[in-house]
């Protein structure tokens, strides 16, 4: 009994020590986002890359116009988090320390192919951070929208009236869309086999469709979004931009693609969108491809991307009126209710799964 008591006491002490450490992560949880945003705004990764991927602190501070002591502290933190590689020096002077790019830091470059800088800038903007302070009110019965409470209007109306934030949204979502579509192309190319024309519903600035058409040049792409979004979209070979409202109708094509769109809306709204997609595709050969997170509960909830998916569900809670990430069962409900005869879910090693719905 005494041995068991000692073992139990040690286990409890270890658990408490870990809890004391973990709570600091939440108390200072804003820090990584704020410092990464600072790095993007200062263009640290871009400047390093333009100088061969490595610079001393003194060279970097001179190029950036920064205070060497302050930049030293920022780079020390970012290096600790894996964004840069700190190259030691035998000299005691910190200004002679060198910093090198890493795979992670290159994702903060403004013009790199796999940049996620715009997504960081979107989520760290004042407009998107404000709603997080209103989650208590959102959680209460009949609670007000967290986004409306912070910004006076719901997200999409706010974006339509504020071009600068609309661009921030389009650029940020384009980052994620590019990553997601590349994962699907790489891991489940069969999804696009035999498709001659495809309409990307809620396709933003056309980034994901452009990436897809480059990989699958036999596809004729239709990028469909609100007029104020498509009017600002760049021109791409093989892609037609069409402005409209997915709640009214969807351009006709062999197949429709919905990437991170339906999670913004409640079940009835999703059903309306999917019904319009169903009307836009051929009844015998058409399909709708839904690329969305699928929340896994129970034994699979610790899967590699599960924490990201659950965090995205909290983003929906903060930024949308009724949006949410869904479980497989919840996705099955909206697909069936929209009138599709069958569907299948393909899980891939990425944030989204691929749900194929057939007439």
Query: Would you name the residues annotated as active-site residues?
Result: 263
The DSSP secondary-structure symbol of 94 reads G
Half-sphere exposure for 314 (CA within 13 Å, toward CB): 13
Angle between helices 30-42 and 68-80 (to 10 degrees): 120
Residue 273 makes CB contacts below 8 A (sequence gap 6+) with 201, 246, 247, 258, 261, 262, 265
CA separation, residue 169 to residues 130, 137, 176, 195, 351 (Å): 15, 25, 11, 29, 19
Give the whole-angstrom CA distance, residue 238 versus residue 4: 70
Residue with structure tokens 């990989």? 215
Give the whole-angstrom CA distance, residue 146 versus residue 134: 5
CA separation, residue 88 to residues 72, 81, 97, 98, 286 (Å): 13, 16, 6, 7, 59
Rg (alpha carbons) of the chain, rounded to whole number: 23
Angle between helices 267-280 and 328-337 (to 10 degrees): 50
Give the whole-angstrom CA distance, residue 233 versus residue 230: 5
Which residues on neighbouring strands pair with residue 344, listed in sequence order? Answer: 356
For 257, phi and psi rounded to 5 degrees? -120, 130
Give the whole-angstrom CA distance, residue 286 versus residue 198: 10
Give the whole-angstrom CA distance, residue 250 versus residue 273: 8
Half-sphere exposure for 138 (CA within 13 Å, toward CB): 22
């Amino acid at each position: 009994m005494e041995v068991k008591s000692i073992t139990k006491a040690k286990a409890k002490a270890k658990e408490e020590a870990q809890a004391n450490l973990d709570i600091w992560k939440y108390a200072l949880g804003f820090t990584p986002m704020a410092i990464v945003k600072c790095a993007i705004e200062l263009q640290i990764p871009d400047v390093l890359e333009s100088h061969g991927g490595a610079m001393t602190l003194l060279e970097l501070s001179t190029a950036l116009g920064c205070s060497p002591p302050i930049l030293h502290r920022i780079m020390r933190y970012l290096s600790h988090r894996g964004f840069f590689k700190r190259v030691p020096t035998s000299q005691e002077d910190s200004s002679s320390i060198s910093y090198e790019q890493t795979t992670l830091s290159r994702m903060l470059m403004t013009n790199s192919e796999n940049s996620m800088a715009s997504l960081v800038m979107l989520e760290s903007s004042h407009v998107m951070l404000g709603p997080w302070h209103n989650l208590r009110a959102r959680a209460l019965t009949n609670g007000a929208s967290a986004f409306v409470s912070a910004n006076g209007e719901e997200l999409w109306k706010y974006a339509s009236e504020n071009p600068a934030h609309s661009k921030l949204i389009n650029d940020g979502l384009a980052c994620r869309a590019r990553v997601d579509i590349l994962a699907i192309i790489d891991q489940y190319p069969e999804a696009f086999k035999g498709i001659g024309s495809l309409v990307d519903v809620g396709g933003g600035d056309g980034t994901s469709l452009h990436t897809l058409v480059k990989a699958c040049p036999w596809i004729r792409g239709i990028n469909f979004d609100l007029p104020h979004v498509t009017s600002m979209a760049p021109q791409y070979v093989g892609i037609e931009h069409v402005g409209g409202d997915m709640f009214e109708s969807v351009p006709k094509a062999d197949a429709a693609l919905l990437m991170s769109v339906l999670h913004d809306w409640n079940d009835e709204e999703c059903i309306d969108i999917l019904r319009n997609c169903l009307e836009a595709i051929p009844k015998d050969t058409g399909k709708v491809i839904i690329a969305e997170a699928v929340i896994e509960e129970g034994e699979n909830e610790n899967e590699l991307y599960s924490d990201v998916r659950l965090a995205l569900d909290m983003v929906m809670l903060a930024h949308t009126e009724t949006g949410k990430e869904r479980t497989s069962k919840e996705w099955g409900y909206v697909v069936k209710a929209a009138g599709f005869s069958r569907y299948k879910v393909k899980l891939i090693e990425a944030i989204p799964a691929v749900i194929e719905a057939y007439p």
